[in-house]
Amino acid sequence: MSFLHLEVPVNNTSLIFKAKNKAIQDNIQELFQELIKITNECPYLDLTYKYNGSSGNWDKSDDQYWIDWKCHDCSKSWTTSQDYSWDLTTKVYPQARRIF
């Protein structure tokens, strides 16, 4: 029995999925670049920050404290430490609102 007759449709199906996958991946790349562009241009007007931490570790040196930032205009989020960079960051983003 020969499977030769099956190879053509399987191969075509494979090529179709490869082409669809590539088209989607290309779109994702393009949209991702646009997303990076708008987050770089955004003035972060609707910005919130929240103190977070991991405390109570057996070894206190494992405890960590940070601030989570989120811009609700462009969805960018980032984290800073709770050290002196905090003062600097509030000067850069005086419009930021603290959430609990």
Q: Contact positions toward Zn ion, by CB under 5 A?
A: 42, 44, 71, 73-74
Give 74 or 96: the residue with its C-beta nearer to Zn ion: 74
Give 13 or 95: the residue with its C-beta nearer to Zn ion: 95
Report the nearest approach of Zn ion to the CB of residue 49 (Å).
Answer: 13
Give 56 or 94: the residue with its C-beta nearer to Zn ion: 94
Report the nearest approach of Zn ion to the CB of residue 74 (Å).
Answer: 3
Q: Rounded to 5 degrees, what angle do the CA atoms 6, 11, 13 make? A: 100
Report the nearest approach of Zn ion to the CB of residue 96 (Å).
Answer: 11
Q: How far apart are CA 52 and CA 37, in angstroms?
A: 28
Q: Is 48 exposed, middle or buried (0-12, 13-18, 19+ CB in 10 A)?
A: middle
From the list 72, 68, 67, the residue with the least C-alpha distance to 44 is 72
